[in-house]
Amino acid sequence: MKATAIAHTNIALIKYWGKRDNVLILPANSSLSMTLDQFYTETTVEWSDSFTEDQFSLNGKIQSDAKVGRFLSILRDQFSLTSFAHVTSTNHVPTAAGLASSASAFAALALAASKAAGRNDDETTLSRLARQGSGSASRSIFGGLAIWQKGEANDGSDSYAYEIPTPSKLDLALVVAVVDAGPKKVDSRLGMQTTVETSPFFEAWTKQATLDLEAMQRAMKENDFVTMGEIAERNALTMHATTMAANPPFTYMQPLSLALMDAVRDLRVAGIPAYFTMDAGPNVKVLCLTKDAERVKEALSVHTSLLYICHPGPKARVITHD
């Protein structure tokens, strides 16, 4: 009743920002992401009748974590188990910094928990499960590029991710520029909830994100990198605009984030197609072509020395089990 799994983080090019159901974690709009080769979570789950409570340790320290506790109860319910779980996890990514640790975390946890329970869940089932831990985790079950379809049903049955082909002629890279690896002040869950409840821009955001996703898929089919980048960059800024109009207003941007964005614009003036995106944290991610990645890294190194060149990464996988 024990298994270990690895899942990689993913960064959305069309963002998920806002839930239509906070309990089942159903999004207001569909999203599209790239799974990253460089950042991942490794998680071991053991279910045992001899355990008297759930236990979760992260990077060697026992945690009391409401999101993990809630998720283990959901898994117990869906697996029809009565036993408790011991979960041991290591993040090969900064935790809660806007680098998508919740995505790799709940994808790895869902897969390890399923395998440890002796199940053979398919990827759709695993994606649906991971979604209930953290929305973005639905996409980290898959490698390469993935779309999380919002679904229409109220029970979440059709809200899961699936892999889509990478543009056949494009060798994509994502350069991650770390501004601050520390935990954010407003976590994604609270940030998006405040936005849904109070931002007058929220409705406009969901409409635009839906159009952006369609346009992005068209650009990908046509191997049109410039259009892809333009859509991704504008989509991210549209998302960040919603938070500035929320009540109370907030932003994940820091001075260095803005400096990095300017550096990306300068790269374009110099003829390098590079486009930024940003999540619920100050770190900036730059979409570019692999042939330009070193040049992008060099341009950003004026502002931060913590730079990672990432490529589309593998899907979630079990590495050991009983």
C-beta of 193 vs 217, nearer to ligand ADP = 193
15 is a site residue for ligand DP6 (CB under 6 A): yes
> Which of 34/267 has CB closer to ligand DP6?
34
Does residue 25 belong to the site contacting ligand DP6 (CB under 6 A)?
Answer: yes
In the complex, minimum distance from the CB of residue 165 to ligand ADP, in angstroms, rounded to a whole number: 26
Range in contact with Co ion (rule: CB under 5 A) among 181-189, 231-239, 268-276, 291-299: 181-189
The Cα 168–Cα 166 span in angstroms is: 6
By CB under 6 A, residue 26 contacts ligand DP6? no
In this structure, the chain runs to a length of: 322
Of 268, 253, 262, 164, the C-alpha closest to 216 is 164
Tell me the two tokens of residue 92.
């090969």
Q: Does 96 bind ligand ADP (CB under 6 A)?
A: yes
Name the CA dihedral angle for 139, 17, 41, 75, rounded to a multiple of 10 degrees.
-70
Task: Kindly state the number of chain residues that form the binding site for Co ion, as judged by CB under 5 A.
Answer: 2
Q: Rule CB under 5 A: say whether 188 interacts with Co ion.
A: yes
* Exposure b/e, 210-234, CB count within 10 A at least 16 = b: eebbebbbebbeeebbeebbbbbbe
Q: Which of 3, 8, 17, 147 binds ligand DP6 (CB under 6 A)?
A: 17
**Window of 16-24, 107-115, 149-157, 182-190 that interacts with Co ion by CB under 5 A:** 182-190
Q: What angle do CA 301, 255, 261 make, to 5 degrees?
A: 55
- Region 39-78 residues binding ligand ADP, contact defined as CB under 6 A: 41, 58, 65, 67-68
**Residues with Cβ within 8 Å of residue 72, at least 6 apart in sequence:** 54, 56, 84, 85, 87, 113
Asked whether 288 and 150 are in contact (CB, 8 A), the reply is no
Q: What share of the chain is helix, strand, coil (3-state, %, to 5)?
A: 35, 25, 35
Nearer to ligand ADP, 93 or 215 (CB): 93
Write the CB contacts of 229 (distance below 8 Å, at least 6 apart in sequence).
273, 274, 275, 287
- 60-69: long-range pairs with CB below 8 Å, 24+: 60/90, 67/102, 67/133, 67/134, 67/189, 68/109, 68/133
Least distance (Å) between residue 14 CB and ligand DP6? 8
Which of ligand ADP, ligand DP6, Co ion, none does residue 257 bind to, with CB < 5 to 8 Å depending on kind?
none
104 near Co ion (CB under 5 A)? no
Residue list 176-195, contact with ligand DP6 (CB under 6 A): 188-189
What track of x and - describes contact with ligand DP6 for positions 214 through 253 (by CB under 6 A)?
Answer: ----------------------------------------
Query: Strands 145-148 and 172-177: what pairing?
Result: unpaired
24 or 267: CB nearest ligand ADP: 24
When binding is defined by CB under 6 A, the residue of 29, 132, 134, 195 that contacts ligand DP6 is 134
What is the CB-side half-sphere exposure of residue 241 using CA atoms within 13 A?
15
Cβ closest to Co ion, residue 188 vs residue 257: 188
Binding site for Co ion (CB under 5 A): 102, 188
Binding site for ligand DP6 (CB under 6 A): 12, 15-17, 25, 31, 102, 134-136, 188-189, 279-280
